[in-house]
Structures are given as structure tokens and as C-alpha cells.
Amino acid sequence: MNAHVRRCVDAAAALGCPTVGTFVGRDPGLSVRDNLERAEGVFRPLVAYARDHGVDLVIENCLMKSWHPDGYPGNLAYSPELWEWMFTLGLRLNYDPSHLVALGIDPVAAAMPYVSQIAHVQAKDVELLPGTINRFGYYGPISGEKGWYRFRVPGLGQIQWGEVVGALRRGGYDGAVSVEHEDPEWTGSTERVQSGLGIAYRTLRHLVRG
């Protein structure tokens, strides 16, 4: 896996791409503290390698619950508390506000102190499903049932994109805002995917510089 990350860095440098994205992950048999100590030894040389090639390693704040046998967060970069840890290693943030909303975190308040550490932004929305939080809680179901939220294209969920993009711009972010299409209502055919992307484009086009 570490060799693969290095090859991605090599490719990014050759193509003039400034970032390579990955995850922190975790060993579910270890405590969070022990995982973070182990991760430091893994990521410090990778960060150094990337910087030697003019590339930043970025970590998405996705829970990756499917990586944990009990459905708990499998990627130790899901909250601002953990962002602060990874910034000390030279890792930067691939910011996806949808995952914060799904944890009950205000995505604007969470991002504002750390905008200078955001190197990429993923535009994905989230729709909260009424009443289901009272059954599952923030961690979601363990039974395989549908959870208390689902991902949507920007404009069809709870996120106020004007507030999110405005906060990023005020903080000095001027990089990419990439639509991450995971909306189950707009899949199944090329035409439906393109229609979903069109909704995202119309939602974001007046907010993002061309």
C-alpha cells in the first residue's frame, strides 16, 4: 500500500497535479491512541516523499464505516479533533461537508479554523431521513437497514452551499470544488448520472469561480 501511494505521488508530479488523496484507516483491534501512534510512523515518510515531489497528501474526512467490523468509524480523520492530529504530520484535508452533517457537526463552523489546511473540496450533499435518527443514532444501524441519511448531489440535501463556499473563500481557499456523485436517485444510466451532475452544476456554478 505504501508503495502504491508513492507511485500515485510519482504520477501526480508527472501530471502537475498538486494533491494525492488517501485515508488514515485504523486497526480495529487497537485503541484510537495506539492507532494514531502507529500511523505517525507510516505517514511521516510518505508526507516527506510527497513534498519532495511537490505534492500534498490529503485525507478525506469520511468515516469509512464499512472498514470496521462493527460499523464504527474506520478512518481516523472524521472530526476536527483528528484533523489537528494529522496536520501535525504535514497531511492536509480533503474536505467533504456531507460527512460532517451526518455526524451532527456544523460543516461551516468545523471548517473555518482550518481553511488554510484544506487542499481539496468534495461537493456532496446529504439528505436527513426524518425520524430515523431516533432509532439508530449518529453511528447508524448495525442490522443492515437503511441509515438515517443518504447522500445527494449538491442542491438536493441539507447543506447550505452558499454558506460553505463563502466560508472557504473568506478563509482564502481558491482550489478545486469537485462534485462527488453518490446520489442513488440519479444513477442507473448515463442520462440519469448526467442529469444529477447538471443539478450539481446549477447549484454551484454561481458560487465557484470559473
What's the pLDDT tens digit per position in 95-108?
Answer: 999 999 988 899 99
What confidence tens digit (pLDDT) does each residue in 164-181 have? 999 999 999 999 999 999
Given a contact cutoff of 8 angstroms between Cβ atoms, the answer to whether 153 and 186 are in contact is yes
pLDDT of residue 132: 86
Cell (9 digits) for 91: 497531511
Res 144: pLDDT? 62
> What CA–CA distance (Å, rounded) separates 152 from 126?
5
State residue 143's pLDDT score. 67
End-to-end CA distance of the chain: 36
Which stretches of the chain are assigned E, i.e. beta strand?
19-22, 56-60, 92-95, 118-123, 125-128, 149-152, 177-179
Q: Are the beta carbons of 118 and 95 closer than 8 angstroms?
A: yes
Residue 69 identity (one-letter amino acid) = P
Can you read off the three cell numbers belonging to residue 26?
485504523
* pLDDT reported for residue 87: 97
When computed from its CA atoms, the radius of gyration of the chain, rounded to whole angstroms, is 18
Alpha carbon distances (Å) from 185 to 100, 126, 129, 141, 192: 21, 12, 14, 21, 8
Positions in the chain short of pLDDT 70 = 1, 143-146, 210
Predicted local distance difference test score (pLDDT) of residue 145: 64
